[in-house]
């Protein structure tokens, strides 16, 4: 028995694996683009399932698709969304820049499964459900792929990135409350600075995540405009009147997220500014997470020869040769994710600049990089929160010792002896290895009693 069947498209016949739901156009793409290992993101496939169901419902309501065929298509889409059709979407990212082959991959799989459902239910169709004539009715790859990108991006933000950011914010706020009253040395330029409360330092970390979260929410709004209804070049050729608005309404119902049809389909097809703008907000989050992770690993450095002002969870051995070594691995994972996101942002920016005439043909690479960034950021925030931030413990004694050994405490003497005299005190203390108190009294600027009255590091915050 042959392990393939014969399918055909407008270019002729193709051999397709017997157990595959896809058809000839998907098979052509598999054979013509054997490039890399990166396949179309699952989030894009799921978004296609949503929009194909929404389009079928709209086409039935507008009288351009048979109700029975529309129901079968919608049911096949439900199976796709439930993961029952996984394994049938093998196409690479590195294909046509409009994503046409992935659009047709989804069309073919849904059409095949719809016809199987008809047979299983004993339904006799006037004609089999066709990937182009029925599943792709009133659509073009040029408006479905950008629509799928926007749907996938919004869902990635609202279901993964924002919840992960909020959970990290909540954990940082708890840590801030638990560390109130602890004063430590501040640092600027990697040098000793005036005192700061540890809770204040943590509040800065929390503010970095809060600000990025707010930027992401703001930048998500343009993603809620959908290109569907523009068809090939933005004119809406072959789509019935009101199809675009009805589909957007259906997508909103299916996702419980607000969506609108883009009023300017010519912009929607060729411009990818919404993807670039929103990824810029993800890059802000990456930059801020990089800062937080670096602070944590600096403060935890040691355990004896570094700053050692905090302790972080010891999750795994840190060295294959140095026994007992434990490294800030969660911090390192966060910073590597941040680097990847920043690289993705460059790729997306370049790709978004490449719209020519009525279409941008860099959409799969935009979608791949954008969704990877969202996925990595959400995952690393959850891991960092659970395996590092939740277990941060202040070393109060080390913070106290470092604070009282800091030369920058001399700043509190400025109002009493002046900036230049205070600088002389700091230099004398450093050069001679003595305390600020000894240096100040030795230079005759203050008596020991007066120094003790005005020199109160814990009150400098």
The tokens for 365 are 């690479």
Q: Is 189 a catalytic residue?
A: yes
Quick one: average pLDDT of 286-302?
98
Q: Write the DSSP symbol of residue 257.
A: S
Burial category of 18 from C-beta neighbours within 10 Å (exposed 0-12, middle 13-18, buried 19 and up) = exposed
Q: What separation, in Å, do the N-terminal and C-terminal C-alpha atoms of the chain show?
A: 81
CA–CA gap between residue 230 and residue 268 (Å, rounded): 8
Q: How many CB atoms within 10 Å of residue 292?
A: 23
Per the prediction, the chain carries an average pLDDT of 97
- Enter the tokens of residue 395: 């070393």
Q: Which of 344, 348, 347, 350 is nearest to 373 (CA)?
A: 344
Given 8, 319, 390, 427, the catalytic residue:
319
Q: What is the pLDDT of residues 4-63, one digit of tens each?
A: 999 999 999 999 999 999 999 999 999 999 999 999 999 999 999 999 999 999 999 999
Which one of the listed residues 98, 130, 141, 189 is annotated catalytic? 189
344 CB-side CA count, 13 A: 32
- Mutual angle of helices 42-61 and 100-120, in 10-degree steps: 60
Q: What is the pLDDT of residue 241?
A: 97
Sheet strands (E) in 199-354: 225-226, 260-261, 310-311
Say if domain 21-137 classifies as CATH 1.10.275.10. Answer: yes
Mean pLDDT in residue range 284-297: 98
Quickly count: other Cβ atoms within 10 Å of residue 138's Cβ.
23
What does the pLDDT read at residue 1?
A: 52
pLDDT band at 288 (very low <50, low <70, confident <90, very high): very high
User: Is 377:282 a contact under the CB 8 Å cutoff?
Assistant: yes
CA angle 144, 147, 148 (to 5 degrees): 85
What pLDDT was estimated at residue 176?
98
Q: Helix or strand or coil: residue 12?
A: strand
Measure the CA–CA gap between 447 and 440, rounded to whole angstroms. Answer: 8
Q: pLDDT (tens digit, 9 = 90+) per residue, 84-112?
A: 999 999 999 999 999 999 999 999 999 99
Exposed, middle or buried by CB within 10 Å (0-12, 13-18, 19+), for 274? buried
How confident is the model over 117-150, as pLDDT tens digits?
999 999 999 999 999 999 999 999 999 999 999 9
Helix axes 363-387, 42-61, angle to 10 degrees: 120
What is the distance between the alpha carbons of residues 365 and 357, in angstroms, rounded to a whole number? 19
What is the structure's pLDDT at 119? 98
Query: Percent of the chain at pLDDT above 90?
Result: 98
Per-residue tokens: 272: 């990818």
Find out whether 396 and 184 touch, Cβ atoms under 8 Å: no
Third-level CATH fold of 151-238+269-393: Fumarase C; Chain A, domain 2 (1.20.200)
Helices 273-299, 198-219: inter-axial angle, 10-degree rounding: 170
The CATH number corresponding to 406-459 among 1.10.40.30, 1.10.1660.10, 1.10.30.50, 3.10.20.740 equals: 1.10.40.30
Residues of the chain with pLDDT > 70, as a percent, come to: 100
Which tens digit of pLDDT belongs to each residue from 207-250?
A: 999 999 999 999 999 999 999 999 999 999 999 999 999 999 99
Q: What is the DSSP string of 328-397?
A: -HHHHHHHHHHHHHHHHHHHHHHHHTTEETTEES-HHHHHHHHHHHHHHHHHHHHHHHHHTGGG-EE-HH
Give every CB contact of residue 198 below 8 A, 6+ residues apart in sequence. 179, 182, 183, 184, 394, 399
Structural domain boundaries in the chain: 21-137, 151-238+269-393, 406-459
Model pLDDT for residues 414-458, shown as the tens digit of each residue: 999 999 999 999 999 999 999 999 999 999 999 999 999 999 988
In terms of Cβ atoms closer than 10 Å to its own Cβ (0-12, 13-18, 19+), residue 258 is exposed
């Amino acid at each position: 028995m042959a392990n393939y069947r014969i399918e055909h498209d407008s270019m002729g016949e193709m051999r397709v694996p017997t157990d595959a739901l896809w058809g000839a156009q998907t098979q052509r793409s598999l054979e013509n683009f054997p490039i890399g290992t990166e396949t179309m993101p699952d989030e894009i496939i799921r978004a296609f399932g949503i929009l194909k169901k929404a389009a079928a419902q709209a086409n039935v309501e507008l009288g351009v698709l048979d109700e029975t065929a529309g129901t079968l298509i919608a049911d096949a889409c439900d199976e796709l969304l439930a993961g029952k059709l996984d394994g049938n979407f093998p196409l690479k990212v590195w294909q046509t820049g409009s994503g046409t082959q992935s659009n047709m991959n989804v069309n073919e799989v849904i059409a095949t499964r719809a016809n199987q459902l008809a047979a299983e239910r004993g339904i006799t169709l006037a004609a089999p459900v066709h990937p182009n004539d029925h599943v792709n009715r009133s659509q073009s790859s040029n408006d479905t792929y950008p629509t799928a990108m926007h749907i996938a991006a919004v869902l990635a933000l609202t279901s993964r990135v924002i919840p992960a950011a909020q959970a990290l914010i909540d954990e940082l706020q708890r840590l801030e409350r638990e560390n109130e009253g602890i004063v430590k040395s501040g640092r600027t330029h990697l040098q000793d600075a005036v005192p700061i409360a540890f809770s204040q330092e943590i509040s800065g970390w929390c503010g970095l995540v809060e600000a990025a979260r707010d930027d992401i929410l703001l930048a998500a709004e343009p993603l809620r405009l959908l290109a569907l209804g523009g068809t090939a070049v933005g004119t809406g050729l072959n789509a019935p009147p009101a199809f675009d608005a009805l589909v957007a309404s259906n997508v909103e119902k299916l996702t419980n997220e607000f969506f609108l049809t883009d009023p300017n389909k010519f912009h929607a097809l060729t411009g990818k500014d919404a993807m670039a703008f929103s990824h810029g907000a993800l890059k802000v989050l990456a930059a801020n997470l990089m800062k937080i992770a670096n602070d944590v690993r600096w403060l935890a450095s040691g355990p004896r020869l570094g700053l050692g002002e905090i302790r972080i969870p010891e999750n795994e051995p840190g060295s294959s040769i140095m026994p007992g070594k434990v490294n800030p691995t969660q911090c390192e994972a966060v910073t590597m994710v941040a680097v990847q996101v920043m690289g993705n942002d460059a790729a997306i920016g370049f790709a978004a600049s490449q719209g020519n005439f009525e279409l941008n043909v860099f959409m799969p690479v935009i979608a791949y990089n954008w969704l990877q960034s969202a996925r990595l950021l959400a995952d690393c925030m959850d891991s960092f929160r659970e395996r590092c931030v939740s277990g941060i413990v202040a070393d109060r004694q080390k913070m106290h010792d470092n604070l009282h050994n800091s030369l920058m405490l001399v700043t509190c003497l400025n109002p009493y002896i002046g900036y230049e005299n205070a600088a002389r005190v700091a230099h004398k203390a450093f050069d001679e290895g003595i305390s600020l108190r000894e240096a100040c009294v030795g230079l005759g600027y203050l008596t020991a009693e007066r120094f003790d009255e005005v020199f109160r590091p814990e009150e400098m915050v």
